[in-house]
A and B are shown apart, each in its own frame.
Chain A
Amino acid sequence: MTITELRSLTRAQKSKEIPASGKRRWGSYTVYAGLVAILVYCLAPFYWMVVSSLRRTVDIFENSLLPAPFSVENYVKVFDGSTMFGQALLNSLIVAGVTTAAALVMGIFAAYAISRLNFRFKSLILGVIIATSMFPGISVVVPLLKFFTNIGWINTYQAMIVPNLSFAIPLAVWNLTTFMKSLPFDLEEAAMIDGCTKWQAFRRVLLPLAAPGIFTTAILTFIHSWNEFIIALSMVNDPRIQTATVAISKFTGATEFQAPFGEQMAAGVIVTIPLVIMVLLFQRRIVEGLTSGAGK
């Protein structure tokens, strides 16, 4: 059975009338070839990282498609304590977690105001909030670096969390606003007619309805914060506070040729694994969240 036959009933009926079955088969082959090409394109580099991380240090430069012999030596080395990689993972979790929670709370309030209340300059305010997400990270980092140095915030979690909000809040506000706008207003109105205050209608009606959107926003914000690099790199130089993305970028040996590639790949896999699991579990939501703004 070819893919074109599966498309739809009308399609299938019509294609029976056209006697170009050879052409159709050729078409379906190109579709399959295209899909395989996409899979290879997307997964091959990542696969190479996984394979390389599972080789022994002595055969790190081998190019076989499967590690032989299989070894977790690199993973053991990554966690042996000298690199403080476990601590870096924990730091990443703290920074990304707090950023996400803070951005969600503020984002829910702001999105509720924008999607449910009538007030002046609404589209201007939304426009300004979205515009801030286009602000280059370095333009945040340079002035805040000086400011945080003056108030003694360097090498603290808040020195990463607060600047992270510069991209996390616009992201959360935008996603939540789009989602809340898509929810019907009628239910809240009914609740208010039944004697609920606006706050009760918000808490008991809208919030449960908006839960999927809030969850999607949380995933996206978390991934963005987890992947953040320039802020964490600039605000922290103490290895005990630095995040995982910064820690792995500093996994270098004494010279270019001694770079511990196996360990780097293993650390890279470990940093990426939580995200891969999230992608596998919540792919539908992530795609919805990513496209909700653009695909109106």
Chain B
Amino acid sequence: MTPTTTSPLGTVKETRAPGPHQSTAPLRAKKRRLGKGRLGEGRMAALLLSPTAVVLALVIAYPLISAIHQSLYSDQTGIDADGFVTEGETFVGLGNYLNLLSGDAGARFLNAFGNTTFFTLTTVSLETILGLILALAMNRAFRGRSFLRASILIPWAVPTAVSGLLWRWIFQSDGIANNLLGSEILWTAEGVASKIAVIVAEVWKTAPFIGLLVLAGMQVIPEEVYEAAKIDGAGWWRQLGSITLPLVKPTLLVAVLFRLLDALRMFDLPFVLIGPGKDSVETLSMLAWDESNQLRYGSASAFAVILFLYVAVVAVVFVKVLGADVTGTKELRLARKKTRSQKAGTAS
């Protein structure tokens, strides 16, 4: 990025006054004007992007660097090699990370890591299947579509904390879930039942989101494609496998990527539904939060860094291997080419 020292007035003037160059030979003038214009636009862009850059530096870059730095220190009081009591921060290098490989802290970390991975895999795969079914059903509905769309947005709009509360009520020992199932399961205590409760609540809230995204992808598939397939004798399943799924794949990939990254940082739902400090549902986010609540910033930062790396690796793998086009980079390049050629066209 170019430095942001120019005033807005200056940049505006620059882009607006290509006048002097027009007196020279037309071809050269065009070239220079384009070059000059781009420089001005570059400065203007830097100026316009700088507030965003400053805020993101404060709320993303600073926390990231600070967390890495903090994770190399320990806040605990201890006795150093000479027998003196040390208080405050001591540099422990990778000690906070090495601690995670053994002992109680290690077991707790591995448990949280396992829970995070387990919840992510189960909820996202269930959501994807359910979301696809929802989208297929909605795609066939012609009457009452807007009512359907509004109702499918309700689970998405309910705050996660409220949905945690709502499902805790449903999953009460003498609540409606046990009543309908005729069972006496303690859903909100520990164990497998609490895991199931979290998965059910999470899938309820997020499957409609995937359904909506996939539906949008389905609606741009032209009807003729299906007509042609029908004439060729393809049945419903064949149409689904050979037309619908391949054509919604790009949309579905982006939706699944979002959900994966969201599920990896799951916090609100198990926190409200089951509660903090429960082994069977503790995720990495909850563990890091708990540690920072105990003022153990060193290990809390180590967990935060590990979670960040985990999310980053999943995102990179997903984008590189499966080719999810999240930013629309290709489209942007095309658009830029187009505006450039248009400019060249108007200039000549």
Interface members, chain A 117-136 (any B CB < 8 Å): 117-123, 125-127, 129-132, 134-136
Given contacts A166-B59, A229-B159, A271-B159, contact A31 B137 (CB under 8 A): yes
Task: Decide if A283 touches B52 in the complex (CB within 8 Å).
Answer: no
Q: Does B153 contact A (CB under 8 A)?
A: yes
Of B22-30, B98-106, B121-129, B307-315, the one contacting chain A is B307-315
Cα A61 to Cα B248 with chains together (Å): 44
Whether A110 contacts B49 by the Cβ 8 Å rule is yes
Q: Contacts A119-B42, A147-B66 given; indicate if A46 touches B155 (C-beta within 8 A).
A: yes
Tell me whether A276 is interfacial, beta carbon within 8 Å. Answer: yes
Do A229 and B204 form a contact, CB below 8 Å, given A162-B59, A264-B165? no
Partner of A113, one of B45, B137, B152, B339: B45
Could you tell me the distance in whole angstroms from the C-beta of B203 to the nearest C-beta in chain A?
A: 10
Check: A98 CB closer than 8 A to any chain B CB. no
- A141–B289 CB distance below 8 A: yes
- Contact A198 B141, beta carbon cutoff 8 Å: no
Residue among A37, A110, A246 making CB contact with B52, cutoff 8 Å: A110
Q: CB within 8 Å of B: which of A244-258? A: 245-246, 248-249, 251
Closest Cβ of chain B to A25, distance in Å, is 14
In the complex, the answer to whether B64 meets A139 with C-beta atoms within 8 Å is yes
What residue in chain A is nearest B166 (Cβ atoms)?
Answer: A49
Q: How far is the CB of A140 from chain B (nearest CB, A)?
A: 5
Within 8 Å of chain B (Cβ to Cβ): is A67?
no
Say yes or no for B209: interface residue by CB 8 A criterion: yes
Contact of A49 among B169, B292, B326, B327 (CB under 8 A): B169
Query: Which residues between 263 and 305 of chain B lie within 8 Å of chain A, taking CB atoms?
Result: 264-265, 267-268, 271-272, 284-285, 288-289, 292-293, 297, 300-301, 303-305
Centre residue among B12, B149, B326, B336 by max chain A CB count within 10 A? B326
Give the CA-CA distance A28 to B8 in the complex, in Å.
61
- Asked whether any CB of chain B lies closer than 8 Å to the CB of A3, the reply is yes
What's the nearest-Cβ distance from chain A to residue B307, in Å? Answer: 5
Q: Which of B63, B155, B312 has the most chain A CB atoms inside 10 A of its CB?
A: B63
A181→B335 contact, CB < 8 A: yes
CB distance from A214 to the nearest CB of B (A): 16
CB-CB under 8 A from B46, the residues of chain A are: 119
Which of A34, A272, A280 contacts B162 (CB under 8 A)? A272
Among A110, A140, A245, the residue within 8 A (CB) of B59 is: A140
Say whether B56 contacts A113, CB under 8 Å.
Answer: no
Instruction: Tell me whether A290 and B212 are in contact (CB under 8 A).
Output: yes
Q: Beta-carbon contacts of A91-129 to B below 8 Å, as 1s and 0s?
A: 000000000000001110110111001111111011101
The residue in chain A whose Cβ has the minimal distance to the Cβ of B65 is A143
A294 to B211: give the CA distance in the assembly, Å: 12
Residues of chain A contacted by B151 (CB below 8 angstroms)? 38-39, 42-43
Is A8 positioned at the interface, with any CB of B under 8 Å from its CB? yes
Which residues of B in the span 302-337 have a Cβ within 8 Å of any Cβ on A? 303-305, 307-308, 311-312, 315, 325-329, 331-333, 335-336
Which listed residue (B66, B138, B305) contacts A38, Cβ 8 A?
B138
Question: Would A145 and B170 be within 8 Å (CB), given that A131-B315, A135-B60, A165-B55 are in contact?
Answer: no
Chain B residues with CB under 8 Å of A295's CB are 213, 216-217, 220, 251
Q: Are B169 and A52 in contact (CB under 8 A)?
A: yes
Given A61-B174, A166-B60, A279-B153, A142–B251 Cβ distance below 8 Å? no
Grouping DSSP codes into helix (H, G, I), strand (E, B) and loop, the A interface class, with mixed when no group exceeds half, is helix
**Which residue from B70, B167, B208 sits with its C-beta under 8 Å from A143?**
B70
Asked if A185 is an interface residue, CB under 8 A from chain B, the answer is yes
A287, B149: Cβ atoms closer than 8 Å? yes
Does A10 have its Cβ within 8 Å of any Cβ on chain B?
Answer: yes
Please report the total number of A residues contacting B with Cβ < 8 Å: 104
- A261 contacts the other chain (Cβ, under 8 Å)? yes
A residues in contact with B331, CB < 8 Å: 181, 296
B134 interface contact, C-beta 8 A: yes
**Residues on A with beta carbons closer than 8 Å to the beta carbon of B59:** 140, 144, 162-163, 165-166
Q: How far is the CB of B56 from chain A (nearest CB, A)?
A: 6
Cβ contact within 8 Å between B216 and A291: yes
Whole-angstrom CA separation of A37 from B152 in the bound complex? 12
Q: In the complex, how many angstroms separate the beta carbon of B330 from the nearest chain A beta carbon?
A: 9
* Closest partner residue, chain A, to B150 (CB atom): A283
Given contacts A3-B140, A146-B297, A265-B166, contact A120 B159 (CB under 8 A): no
B84: A residues at CB distance < 8 A: none
- Contact check, B176 vs A249: say whether CB atoms are below 8 A apart: no
Distance from A210 Cβ to chain B, minimum over Cβ atoms (Å): 14
Instruction: Please state if A249 and B143 are interface contacts (CB–CB under 8 Å).
Output: no
Hey, which chain B residues are within 8 Å of A296, CB to CB? 250, 325, 328, 331
Is B38 in contact with chain A by the CB < 8 A criterion?
yes
Q: How far is the CA of A123 from the CA of B15 in the complex (A)?
A: 22
0/1 string, A21-59, CB within 8 A of B gives 1:
000000000010011011101110110110010000000
A198 close to B285 (CB less than 8 A) = no
Q: Does A106 lie within 8 Å of B51, measured CB to CB?
A: yes
| Residue ranges of A at the interface with B (Cβ–Cβ < 8 Å) | 3, 6-8, 10, 31, 34-35, 37-39, 41-43, 45-46, 48-49, 52, 61, 63, 105-107, 109-110, 112-114, 117-123, 125-127, 129-132, 134-147, 162-163, 165-166, 169-170, 173, 178, 181, 185, 189, 197-199, 223, 226-227, 229-230, 233-234, 245-246, 248-249, 251, 261, 264-265, 268, 271-272, 275-276, 278-280, 283-284, 286-287, 290-291, 293-296
Closest 4 CB pairs of A and B: A291-B216, A295-B216, A143-B66, A136-B265
6 A-B contacts (beta carbon < 8 Å): A48-B166, A110-B49, A230-B268, A279-B154, A283-B149, A293-B328
Given contacts A136-B308, A143-B304, A294-B254, 13 further A-B contacts (CB under 8 A): A41-B204, A109-B51, A121-B1, A122-B336, A125-B49, A130-B326, A138-B265, A139-B63, A197-B12, A198-B44, A279-B153, A279-B154, A283-B149
